[in-house]
Structure 1
Amino acid sequence: MNESLVLDAAHRHCQSLLDTLTGFRHRNLGRLAAWGTELAAVLPVGGRLLAAGNGGSAAQAQHLTAELVGRYRQERPAYSAIALHAETSSVTAIGNDYGFDQVFARQVSAHGRPGDILVLLSTSGRSANLITAAVTGRAAGLRVWALTGPGPNPLAEAADEALCVDADSTAAVQEAHLVAVHVLCECFDAAGGAPAPAAGAGAGARPGAAAERRLS
């Protein structure tokens, strides 16, 4: 094994990510801030976020829904967020009966309501099942956001808005998508998704801790 070649590969990977994030920071933070603000106007009043992706993008979409149902940094209410690809029985039944292109679209029809938000992640922006979901979502009155690799691409064109990551590798696109998920959560919290903690309660206080102190 040539250790220098292995180390060079590691350096190239990190440099690719650094280059990608430099462009990401300059081009995409404003869009994520706007998305976070819109999300903070939808979820606290009973709206829902639906998310989907394939492969590594499925993991990123599920990361986003977990942050919303749970919490990102500080204690906050639980918000409705569903990762459509994680519904394994629905995915396999729909794929078997209607075809793989419909595995997300049919769930969007079932769960989505006008005003809800649909987030679709794809490094290529060419996944047919996500494009079909975008078309279905917009027809049903959902707001459709796409996180993709370099644009233009069909998914970005099918969505209401798209954040296209300009990168020279799929890995860098996926890593930038994770940053986008975290920045979106930061902006959502800052825009009102996470109410300020009560006086004397730490940002990470567990639920009920303040009430227990009052009773003690």
Structure 2
Amino acid sequence: MKQYIVNKIRESIAVKEAICRDEPLLDTIKAVAATITQSLQADHKILFCGNGGSAADAQHLAAEFSGRFYKDRNPLYAEALHCNTSYLTAVGNDYGYDQVYARILKGIGRPGDVLVGISTSGNSANILEAIKVAKEQGMIVVSMTGNTGGKMKAGSDYLINVPSNDTPRIQEAHILIGHIICEIVENNLFGA
């Protein structure tokens, strides 16, 4: 059993090592941090969406921006779009689950806002619909996915595709990358 645990830890480390060697991915992470910084400086919003574990990651990262990360500083406008369960269940019931994020973006998305869609497969129907609406609204789209980027790749301004096909390892990397982006943005806006 101990070896099984060690193997899982090593699998996680291997994904992170692959990220460290992926120069284009590292450049994308850097560009996303700069884009989010510029968006927040211009008084825009950062909106997150995902399903299941990726919804938990969306909420986690939104809280890092809107609450605090390392610094005691002013809150930043970041929100996970699934947190209003009355809205989510009403729209899911009345329009279909694939519309839960697209519909809210039609109401609150503005040019210059950033949508961060999180899906390990890159193929979640409701995230794809959200990306479509985000582009129509003039928003910037950041997709956090697994290795291939899936269908989300085509609609993304920035694709953070973790070099793995293993859902738990991808999710672990999404949180790591999200934390790095948050720290860079926080330093950009409030000093290192």
Same fold (TM over 0.5): yes
Q: What are the Cα deviations for residues 37-87 of structure 1, in whole angstroms up to 9, with x where unaligned?
A: 111111133110110000110111111110111111112221111100112
Please give the alpha-carbon distance, in whole angstroms, between the structure 2 residues aligned to 1:160 and 1:120.
11
User: In structure 1, the residue corresponding to 2:69 is in which secondary structure?
Assistant: coil
Cα offset, 1:7, TM superposition: 2.0
Alpha carbons 1:76, 1:195 under 8 Å: kept:
no
Alpha carbons 1:135, 1:159 under 8 Å: kept:
no
Q: How many equivalent residue pairs?
A: 190
Amino acid at match of 2:53: G
Counterpart in the other structure of 2:130: 133
Amino acid at match of 1:194: F
Q: Does 1:36 align with 2:41?
A: no
Q: What are the Cα deviations for residues 143-169 of structure 1, in whole angstroms up to 9, with x where unaligned?
A: 000000111410122222211011141
Any gaps of 5 or more consecutive residues in structure 1?
1-5, 197-216
From 11, 16, 19, give the equivalent of 2:11.
16
Please identify the structure whose Cα radius of gyration is greater. 1
Alpha carbons 2:149, 2:159 under 8 Å: kept:
no
Please give the alpha-carbon distance, in whole angstroms, between the structure 2 residues aligned to 1:156 and 1:90.
28
Any gaps of 5 or more consecutive residues in structure 2?
none
Counterpart in the other structure of 1:52: 49
What's the TM-score, normalizing by structure 2? 0.94
Please give the alpha-carbon distance, in whole angstroms, between the structure 2 residues aligned to 1:63 and 1:138.
24
From 167, 176, 185, give the equivalent of 2:182.
185
Counterpart in the other structure of 1:143: 140
Alpha carbons 2:146, 2:165 under 8 Å: kept:
no
Please give the alpha-carbon distance, in whole angstroms, between the structure 2 residues aligned to 1:63 and 1:10.
25
Please give the alpha-carbon distance, in whole angstroms, between the structure 2 residues aligned to 1:195 and 1:145.
24
What's the TM-score, normalizing by structure 1? 0.84
Please give the alpha-carbon distance, in whole angstroms, between the structure 1 residues aligned to 2:165 and 2:39.
35
Please give the alpha-carbon distance, in whole angstroms, between the structure 1 residues aligned to 2:173 and 2:149.
17
Please give the alpha-carbon distance, in whole angstroms, between the structure 1 residues aligned to 2:112 and 2:97.
26
User: In structure 2, the residue corresponding to 1:147 is in which secondary structure?
Assistant: strand
Counterpart in the other structure of 1:122: 119
Instruction: Give the ranges of 4+ consecutive aligned residues of structure 1 lying more than 4 Å apart after TM superposition.
Output: none
